[in-house]
């Protein structure tokens, strides 16, 4: 029997041949007839040996394809999710989409298997979900999963706000839904993909008043995210997670006894702003209470974070929308409410957006910062 088109023939043989209990090969009764792949033909002298060789080739091809896959978690299946965790899978408020969980879980298992992490918990974030729920409260789209404890929690988190660069590009995101994504330096956008949490850094941001006679210091913790692949420049971008609080409208207060005083004995004093319901400069931001819990989980114990969507997901959904097809029917995931609001998502690769941002900075240098004024009655 002739052997034709080795790769296609191998796939057909692999697909339609099975082994019986005695170890002999038998043909599937619905094996397709060879017609359209009759492109190259030679006539072997030992057809049985060639069939075995073709079968071996098919297995080798399959193994090579699996080993060359860009992400080992691509083979994760919904059936692999523990039973207790499946009740949290879905697209309702407080649930995690199957696509996001499968990738986050497979990443964690891979890193745990490699010895890179020992933390019993891992994180995931779905930035296709709205930042505001239907009842007006914060949308829960950051997930804390501790399988050993059978614990699942969904909390709110902010996405990168982006920028409007007049005459160059407009990639500013709305407060509720994210349309633009990028890993470009200076874009202030979220970049989906693979991350590992780093060692927590804590810094003093200033004082704020809690009463007319009492003030307190804002000391904010920052968890750096170390990326891989498209997110490998996370450190350069200073990407990480922190509480969505800051000090605004600060003036210099004379406080020489403060451990945070500068060389002249002054500390910044301003008003505390909680922007948990707003956007970030590209980092992942949480409410102060949620941030404390997350910092406690990762303190001296790194873990994995998977942020959805990645560049390939964004491009695939954008192509489906442009073709007038439903992403869900095409096997793609995007939150339906936000997709309706944004129309179609857009990814800005650093190779394209980075130079434009750099050119804008050269053409529009930032004005010099005025020195912080001293507080009244100093």
Per-residue pLDDT of the chain (378 residues; tens, 9 = 90+): 443 333 333 443 334 443 443 344 444 434 444 333 333 333 344 444 444 444 444 444 344 334 433 444 445 567 789 999 999 999 999 999 999 999 999 999 999 999 999 999 999 999 999 998 777 788 999 999 999 999 999 999 999 999 999 999 999 999 999 999 999 999 999 999 999 999 999 999 999 999 988 999 999 999 999 999 999 999 999 999 999 999 999 999 999 999 999 999 999 999 999 999 889 999 999 999 999 999 999 999 999 999 999 999 999 999 999 999 999 999 999 999 999 999 999 999 999 999 999 999 999 998 888 899 999 987
Q: What is the pLDDT of residue 76?
A: 55
**C-beta of residue 342 within 8 angstroms of C-beta of residue 179:** yes
Residue ranges of the domains in the chain?
A: 3-67, 73-363
CA atoms within 13 A on the CB side of 253: 17
* Residues 6+ positions from 262 with CB-CB distance below 8 Å: none
159 and 182 in contact (C-beta within 8 Å)? no
Contact 307, 203 (CB under 8 A): no
Write down the pTM of the prediction: 0.79
CA distances from 367 to 44, 172, 251, 361 (A): 78, 22, 19, 11
CATH class label, 73-363: mainly beta
First CA to last CA distance, the chain: 98
Listed in sequence order, the residues at least 6 apart from 38 whose beta carbon sits closer than 8 Å to its beta carbon are: 4, 5
Sign of the dihedral defined by the CA atoms of residues 6, 12, 18, 24, in that order: negative
φ, ψ dihedrals at 34, nearest 5°: -80, 115
> Cβ(160)–Cβ(175) under 8 Å?
no
Contacts of 21 (CB under 8 A, 6+ apart): none
The pLDDT of residue 51: 45
What residue ranges in 261-361 does DSSP mark as E strands? 266-274, 284-286, 304-308, 346-348
DSSP class of 365: P
């Amino acid at each position: 029997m002739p052997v034709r088109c080795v790769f296609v023939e191998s796939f057909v043989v692999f697909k339609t041949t099975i082994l019986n209990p005695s170890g002999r090969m038998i043909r599937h009764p619905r094996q397709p007839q060879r017609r359209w792949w009759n492109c190259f033909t030679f006539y072997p002298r030992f057809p049985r040996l060639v069939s075995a060789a073709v079968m071996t080739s098919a297995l080798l091809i399959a193994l090579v394809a699996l080993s060359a896959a860009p992400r080992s978690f691509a083979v994760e299946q919904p059936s692999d999710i523990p039973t207790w965790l499946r009740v949290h899978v879905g697209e309702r408020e407080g649930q995690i989409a199957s696509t996001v969980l499968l990738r986050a879980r497979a990443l964690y298992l891979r890193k745990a298997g490699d010895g890179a992490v020992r933390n019993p918990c891992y994180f995931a974030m779905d930035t296709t979900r709205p930042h505001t729920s239907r009842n007006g409260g914060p949308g829960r789209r950051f997930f804390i999963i501790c399988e050993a404890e059978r614990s699942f929690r969904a909390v709110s988190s902010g996405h990168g706000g982006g920028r409007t660069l007049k005459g160059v590009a407009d990639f500013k995101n709305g407060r509720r839904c994210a349309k633009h994504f990028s890993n470009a330096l200076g874009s202030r956008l979220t970049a989906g993909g693979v991350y590992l949490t780093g060692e927590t850094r804590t810094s003093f941001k200033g004082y704020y008043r809690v009463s007319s006679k009492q003030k307190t210091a804002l000391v904010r913790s920052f968890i750096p995210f170390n990326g891989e692949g498209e997110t490998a420049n996370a450190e350069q971008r200073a990407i990480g997670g922190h509480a969505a609080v800051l000090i605004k409208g600060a003036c210099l207060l004379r406080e020489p006894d403060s451990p945070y005083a500068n060389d002249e004995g002054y500390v910044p004093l301003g008003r505390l702003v909680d922007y948990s319901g707003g956007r970030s400069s590209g980092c992942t931001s949480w409410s102060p209470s949620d941030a404390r819990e997350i910092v406690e989980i990762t303190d001296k114990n790194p873990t994995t974070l998977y942020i959805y969507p990645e560049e390939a997901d964004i491009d695939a959904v954008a192509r489906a929308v442009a073709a007038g097809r439903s992403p869900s029917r095409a096997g793609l995931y995007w939150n339906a409410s936000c997709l309706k609001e944004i129309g179609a998502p857009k990814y800005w690769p650093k190779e394209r957006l980075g130079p434009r941002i750099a050119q804008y900075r050269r053409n529009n240098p930032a004005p010099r910062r005025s020195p912080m004024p001293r507080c009244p009655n100093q």
